[in-house]
Amino acid sequence: MQRQSTLYRLRHLLLWIGQFVVCAVSVFWAFQLRFDYYVPPAYKRELYFAMLVWPVVKLAVFFAFGLSSGWWRYVSLPDLMRLTVANLAATTAVTMITLFTRPAGFPRTIYLIDFLICLGLTSAVRISRRVMLELAASLSRDRSTGRTLIYGAGDAGVALLRELRSNPAGPYHPVGLLDDNPSKLGATIQGVTVLGTGQQLGELAKKHNIETVLVSIPSASGQQMTSILQQCHVAGVAFKTIPSLSRMLEGNENLASQIRSVAVEDLLGRSPVSLDTRRIEEKIAGQTVMVTGAAGSIGSELCRQIARFHPAVIVAFESSETGLFHLQNEFRKTFPDVKLHAAIGSVQNIRRIDEVLREHSPAMIFHAAAYKHVPMMEAHMFEAVENNIFGTWNVATAAGRFGVGDFVLISTDKAVRPTNIMGATKRFSELLILALGDSATKFVAVRFGNVLGSNGSVVPTFKQQILAGGPVTVTHPEMQRYFMTIPEASQLVLQAFTMGRGGEVFVLDMGDPVKIVDLARNLILLSGLRPDTDIQIEFTGMRPGEKLYEELSHLEEGTVATPHHKVRAFTAQANQLPDMRRLLEDLRRAHDVRDPYRVVLTLKEAIPDYTPSEYVLPKAKVAYDSGPGGS
């Protein structure tokens, strides 16, 4: 460490000596040029004065402008602009000093000549150093390996190219760029040529022995990314990408270190979420925040996102001991400054809920605990009612009793015109919290579609099937779903809750629906395999409670504008609380005697557009024919 410190000080000293010499040389040549290479004896004293004093003054100005370090390797146009301003300020300083200290008659043109020479020399030294370093990096690289095309000659592509060229030890050797803008063809950037468009990828990859294509188009749509993926697959080259520009700015690592494999999220073309972080932090900072279902996919990501906004405590309420254990360990490593209290408990246990609220007095609750798998809930109707409806009621009413300021229900697009028990129970839960609107607690719901990568969702299932060699099973060739990423969903939940006045159902912008079979094909391609050749796709038929298309809002719901372009609010006439209490009691009685017919009938009364599935209806009919409790 001491040796490194000594070397650093020596290098710094040599740097200043070098700059002093450059400034002195510029003064010498300014005099030489002014007097046609013969300085009259009368001016030699002024020459010696200027060669000794002007460099000292200039170095002081350079130091004030921060030019004492970082001038060798990464010089760029902004650096040269700053250098120009610094030289101009230095020339002004030496001019003033000379005018006040030297005799009249000092040739004024010397100031201008010195400025031009000094600017040229200081710029040349910096540029030549960078050129030498990049030339050395280029010569030291094995050009037969790591041959790479960068797809995208915009700002991100140029920044990536610059970093790759400055790192000769890296695995990528850029030999060309691709861009779909014809006006860029043939242009040379950082010594690398734009060779062609994406349509020429195959022939260019073969011609230049390309191994990898780095996709550097942060704004690419899902369709564009899918097309590039298919072109790379046909060309037989590896493909990777970089994160969005906003995520690059958030990270502390350099751009080259953020190169990653193309993920299914890239193929959806989800644009980065822009949050009003000030409003979120105003609500969360210094507060105790409770998250139910905290170890689930959405619940755990909510905890991570909340941790960014400096809460006093996060109360992670969860029935899964193992999941809560892993979440607690993750927070100790990732968020050591955030206090997370792990509270084991079930939303079905009113006494336990009261204990946790009494102990921690949360200012807000995000209720993410729910059973969510559609076919499984069709077979477990009573458990779905008990957890999704009774559990929501337990937490919501406890929030009111203990003076919680905000209650946010995590809902789903399956609550719209539901055709399954899971969707119906979530819609019933929405109606319950909307009926609680006349209270000190603000009750809102946030509704979104399928979340990529969540536990038990289609993407992990497909990946497991591909890993096993197939087949990949899709229920129906026309099946479509809305998708978003877990971080995006969680961030927009936080954004929506800052807008709530109470009584709203917020719907997140899900973009365009995606065909499940297209998702399966893209995942197979991402695995480096060919759909229907290496991995077969089989259609198994729709499962109980499923429908081909999901919706995000009821037609009768009215749209309310929100400050965020990715969040819409729907308001509908809320049911009266006494009516919802009566329906809730009807459900309890049906649940207690295990009467599926009465459960379906009560759900249908509360949700007129609920259409029970062909799996549930026969069970309800058998129960009806058998009499109460006959099932």
Rounded to whole angstroms, the Cα distance separating 380 from 400 reads: 30
In the structure encoding, which two tokens stand for residue 370, read together?
Answer: 């729910």
Lowest mean pLDDT among 223-237, 354-368, 561-575: 561-575
The residue with tokens 């026309």 is 478
Domain check: are 26 and 114 in the same one? yes
Asked if residue 208 is part of any domain, the answer here is: yes
Rounded to whole angstroms, the Cα distance separating 368 from 389 reads: 12
For 544-567, letters b (16+ CB in 10 Å) and e give bbbbeebbbbeeebeeeebebebb
CA torsion sign for 295, 298, 303, 308 is positive
For 52-72, letters b (16+ CB in 10 Å) and e give ebbbebbbebbeeeebeeebe
Among 115, 138, 161, where does a domain finish?
138
Would you give the DSSP letter of residue 342?
A: E
Domain check: are 508 and 474 in the same one? yes
DSSP letters for 255-287: SGGG-EE--HHHHHTPPPP---HHHHHHHHTT-
Q: Which residue has the higher pLDDT, 592 or 507?
A: 592
Lowest mean pLDDT among 19-23, 579-583, 599-603: 19-23
pLDDT digits (tens, 9 = 90+) for 251-280: 444 555 566 666 666 666 556 566 677 888
Domain check: are 589 and 558 in the same one? yes
CA torsion sign for 133, 135, 140, 146 is positive
Domain check: are 309 and 257 in the same one? no
Asked if residue 629 is part of any domain, the answer here is: no
Asked if residue 27 is part of any domain, the answer here is: yes
Closest CA relative to residue 178, chosen from 158, 159, 198: 198
Asked if residue 304 is part of any domain, the answer here is: yes
> Average pLDDT of 274-293?
88
Write out 168-218 in H/E/C secondary structure.
CCCCCEEEEEECCCHHHCCCEECCEEEEECHHHHHHHHHHCCCCEEEECCC
Domain check: are 308 and 447 in the same one? yes
Domain check: are 130 and 155 in the same one? no
Q: What is the pLDDT of residue 599?
A: 92
Cα–Cα distances in angstroms (integers) from residue 582 to residues 388, 588, 589, in the given order: 17, 10, 11
Rounded to whole angstroms, the Cα distance separating 599 from 591 reads: 7
CATH number for the domain spanning 172: value is: 3.40.50.720
| Report for 78-87, 234-243, 501-510, 592-601: range of highest mean pLDDT | 592-601
Q: 443 - beta bridge partners?
A: 407
Asked if residue 250 is part of any domain, the answer here is: yes
DSSP letters for 407-429: EEEEEEGGGSS--SHHHHHHHHH
Q: What is the pLDDT of residue 630?
A: 45
Rounded to whole angstroms, the Cα distance separating 599 from 573 reads: 24
Asked if residue 325 is part of any domain, the answer here is: yes
Domain check: are 160 and 119 in the same one? no
Is the confidence at residue 176, as pLDDT, over 90? Answer: no
Rounded to whole angstroms, the Cα distance separating 626 from 617 reads: 14
Asked if residue 622 is part of any domain, the answer here is: no
CA torsion sign for 503, 508, 513, 514 is negative
Domain check: are 315 and 439 in the same one? yes
> Average pLDDT of 117-133?
77
Q: Which residue has the higher pLDDT, 487 or 315?
A: 315
Q: Please state, rounded to an integer, the average pLDDT across all residues of the chain.
A: 81
Is there a contact between 274 and 246 (Cβ–Cβ < 8 Å)? yes
Domain check: are 513 and 399 in the same one? yes
Is there a contact between 270 and 511 (Cβ–Cβ < 8 Å)? yes
pLDDT digits (tens, 9 = 90+) for 483-498: 777 777 788 888 888 8
Among 206, 228, 262, where does a domain finish?
262
Among 197, 231, 262, where does a domain finish?
262
CA torsion sign for 494, 496, 502, 505 is negative
pLDDT digits (tens, 9 = 90+) for 249-258: 444 445 555 6
Rounded to whole angstroms, the Cα distance separating 281 from 284 reads: 5
In the structure encoding, which two tokens stand for residue 96, read together?
Answer: 């003033």
Domain check: are 285 and 244 in the same one? no
> Average pLDDT of 569-574?
70
Number of domains in the chain: 3
pTM above 0.85, yes or no: no
Nearest 5 degrees, angle CA 516-CA 519-CA 520? 90
Domain check: are 382 and 486 in the same one? yes
Strands 537-539 and 450-452: unpaired
Strands 567-571 and 558-560: antiparallel
Give Cα 251 distance to the centre of its chain.
10
Query: Which amino acid is residue 607, in one-letter code?
Result: I
Q: Which residue has the higher pLDDT, 22 or 437?
A: 22
Domain check: are 196 and 315 in the same one? no
Residue 463 phi/psi, 5° resolution?
-60, -40
Is there a contact between 319 and 356 (Cβ–Cβ < 8 Å)? no
Tell me the residue range of the domain where 85 lies: 2-138
